[in-house]
Structure 1
Amino acid sequence: MKDSILNIPINYVNTEPADNKRSFGMESFELSVLETFETTTIKQRFQEPIFYNLLRGKKLMKFKNDIPIEYLPGSTMIVPPNLEMEVNFPDSSLVNPTQCLSLTIDKMKIASSLSLLNERYPRLDGQLWQLSMKDYSVFTNEEISSLIYKLYHLANQNTQEARIIAELTLTELLVLLFQSQNRKDLFLNNSFGALNDLVRYIQDNLDSELTIAFLSQQMSMSKTTLFRTFKREFNITPLEYINKARIERAKRILIEQPHLTIAEISYLVGFENPNYFTRLFKQYLHTTPTILRKTNQKLS
């Protein structure tokens, strides 16, 4: 299992608590380093939304009656207030501790960032930008992880310059999170005004050859306009959306149809080369199709 590219030294001064915590704060946020040195299971519930970024190790997260999900380094998780979760640390030890960054953000900062985005960059579908707190969300985005890591370093500096940069960095982080949630909605319900017909066409034809030239013709717009529209609305290119949609569908098929081989699934979702499919799957989900299937079978 690969750790995050971000590196924070482990604190071995106190290894007794199940979740050893070191906190750093500035005006609009508090950031904590959480370290676990033993195999254990804990239950947690927070009054404020929590933003997690796992740096090393592995967690199995279970919400409500859902199937536990494997939470690996490189992903950011948003946990809404008052949502109880059961967290299992299957591999934690003194030699191999689990390390995670936990971020809480002031509500007024979130509100002001949303107002700024809605005023200057309104969504194409006429809806307002918002931070959904209905359920947990998981994003695999190195840029988001890097910004949280940057906040950690800024919070360790007691200077006016660091505080100013931290506020700007926090705004940038929130904008990326809003866009990432918007992108998640794109995969779930495809209700995005001008892009709706195109998204539905892509979802209905993932097993076909989908080129940018063909899709731009379908939308009666230039390739440049199509690229710019997708990038602005979802912080993702059309090709990235197609690949991500194919991987998401493959993930569901892996779990729901265990009799199909990896090669068969890759063809079903539009990949001609199973090896390329596996590489892309690992790039997006930080695990291979085979490991994901085996993990789900064990957890079930």
Structure 2
Amino acid sequence: MPSGKYLQKIDLTHPKYLQTLVENRRVFNLQNCELNVFESYQQAWRVPLTFSDFVITSMVRGKKIMHLLDKPSFDYLPGETVIVPADETMVIDFPEASADNPSQCIALAVDARYVTDTLQYLNSYYNNDPDEQHQWRLQFNQYHFENDTEITETINKIIRVCSSGDKAKNIFADLSLKELLIRLLQSQHLMQVKVESDTAGNHSRLHHVLHFIHQHLTERISMDHLSRKAYLSRNAFFKWFREQFGITPLEYINRERIKLAKQLLADPRQSVTSVSLQCGFSDVNYFVRLFKKAEGITPGSYQACLIK
């Protein structure tokens, strides 16, 4: 199924340059990171892979099954990203890989000092709200997630920079790498607060706002009303929300409504218009445009794919 969250395809290695048919590796070294492109052309099981640095991996094509951090195994598909701590062994299955259907994945190994410097930057300068003390850190209880548009675009940019011959590519890579780390941290923070808001709706201003959004997701949600819930002016509320989570309140609401819409569209008795209304959209055309932007396909086509 098409999706706007998929990474741009990377040219496959020419057959005569393949060194192995399982996890063939190409490496692009930069000052603070190392981009690896892995490809597999035949089925294989229980293949170990370990990096000495923190690593951000993202699927480009095909399918893997990941065994990681002593947790249950999971399917790893294009449009998804996994983060792994240093010296943690990934054990990988390739159940569908073949010459005609290879798997391809990037792994971005990031220097530990660079990660530490970025966390210090966030903790010192990016989030100084005295009412929302939050220690920015990587959380490995949230390590597998679906890409959003911003993360996809940033990873694509890093791939282009790392594989280019530009003399200034270390500078450009540093800027994009810092952006990617910050977006991943914000995404993790959002997921954590969202989970906590179900049981701790009044624990903090963040929990209170997200709890209210989810309680009223199918209704009209006024930005002015949300601002008052956060005890902030409208402009200050938008700035504060984006600093915390990397997206605007409206982008978050629409993202959650699209998730709900995908669940409802699984029922073939539901029409696109009905789903639009149930998800809080008063304009079905607006709903269709948002859905296509987020998923790369119209809601009608999405539903048709599900019920084939």
Structure 2-normalised TM-score? Answer: 0.75
2:150 is aligned with 1:165: no
Amino acid at match of 2:141: K
Looking at structure 2, the residues matched to 205 and 7 of structure 1 have their Cα atoms a distance apart, in angstroms, of 39
- Among 62, 71, 74, the residue aligned to 1:68: 74
- Unmatched runs of 5 consecutive residues or more in structure 2: none
Match of 1:37 in 2: 41
Deviation at 1:116, TM superposition (A): 1.2
Q: Are residues 1:189 and 2:199 paired?
A: no
Shift of the 271–87 alpha-carbon distance from structure 1 to 2, 3 Å rule, reads farther
The verdict on how the C-alpha distance between 1:128 and 1:219 changes in structure 2, with shifts beyond 3 A counting, is: closer
Q: Over residues 109-140 of structure 1, what are the superposed CA-to-partner deviations in whole Å (9 max), with x where a residue is unaligned?
A: 10011111211112541011111123413242
User: Residue 11 of structure 2 corresponds to which residue in structure 1?
Assistant: 9
Count of residues in Structure 1 that have an aligned counterpart in Structure 2: 290
Q: Considering only aligned residues, what root-mean-square deviation do their CA atoms show, in Å?
A: 3.7
Q: Select the residue among 220, 241, 246 that pairs with 1:230.
A: 241
Distance 1:275 1:98, change over 3 A: farther
Unmatched 5+ stretches in structure 1: 296-300
Q: Is the 8 A contact 1:58 1:72 kept in 2?
A: yes
Match of 2:125, as an amino acid? R
Q: Which one is further off, 93-102 or 108-117?
A: 93-102
Instruction: Kindly indicate whether residue 144 of structure 2 is the aligned counterpart of residue 140 of structure 1.
Output: no
- The match for 2:159 among 125, 130, 152 is 152
Instruction: Please report the TM-score for the alignment, with normalisation by the length of structure 1.
Output: 0.77
Deviation string 1:215-256 (CA, Å, 9 cap, x unpaired) is 2344444332222221121111111111223344566x67xx
Match of 1:210 in 2: 221
Secondary structure, aligned partner of 2:221: coil
- Say which SS state the counterpart of residue 184 (structure 1) adopts: helix
Aligned residue type for 1:72: P
Q: Does 1:176 align with 2:180?
A: no
Check if 1:56 corresponds to 2:61. Answer: yes
Q: Letter of the aligned partner of 2:100 in structure 1?
A: V
Alpha-carbon distance, 1:108 to partner: 0.9
Please give the per-residue CA displacement for 1:40-77, whole angstroms capped at 9, x wherever unaligned: 4444453543211222334454655547345224x433
State the distance in 2 between where 1:278 and 1:39 align: 39
Instruction: Give the whole-Å Cα distance in 1 for the aligned partners of 2:48 and 2:29.
Output: 21
User: Against the structure 1 CA distance between its residues 183 and 283, is the aligned structure 2 distance closer, same or farther, given a 3 Å change threshold?
Assistant: farther
Give the aligned residue type for 2:112: K
Return the alpha-carbon distance in structure 2 between the equivalents of residues 250 and 131 of structure 1.
Answer: 30
Higher RCO structure, 1 or 2 (CA under 8 Å, sep 6+): 2
Listed one character per residue, the Cα deviations across residues 178-211 of structure 1 (whole Å, up to 9, x for unaligned) are 2222222232223773333221111112222213
1:78, distance to aligned residue in structure 2 (A): 1.6
Aligned pair partner of 1:245 in 224, 249, 256: 256
| SS of the residue 2:137 aligns to | coil
What amino acid sits opposite 1:242 in the alignment? I
Give per-residue Cα distances to partners, 1:149-174, cap 9 Å, x unaligned: 33334434577632233223322222
Structure 2 letter corresponding to 1:20: N
CA distance in 2, matches of 1:210, 1:89: 45
Question: Is 1:15–1:36's contact at 8 Å kept on the other side of the alignment?
Answer: no
Contact in 1 for aligned 2:42/2:94 (Cα 8 Å): no
SS of match in other structure, 1:236: coil
Name the CA distance, whole Å, in 2 between partners of 1:205 and 1:222.
Answer: 21
The 8 Å contact of residues 32 and 110 in structure 2, kept in 1 or not, is answered as yes
Give identity over the alignment, percent.
27
Task: Give 1:18's match in structure 2, choosing from 19, 22, 39.
Answer: 22
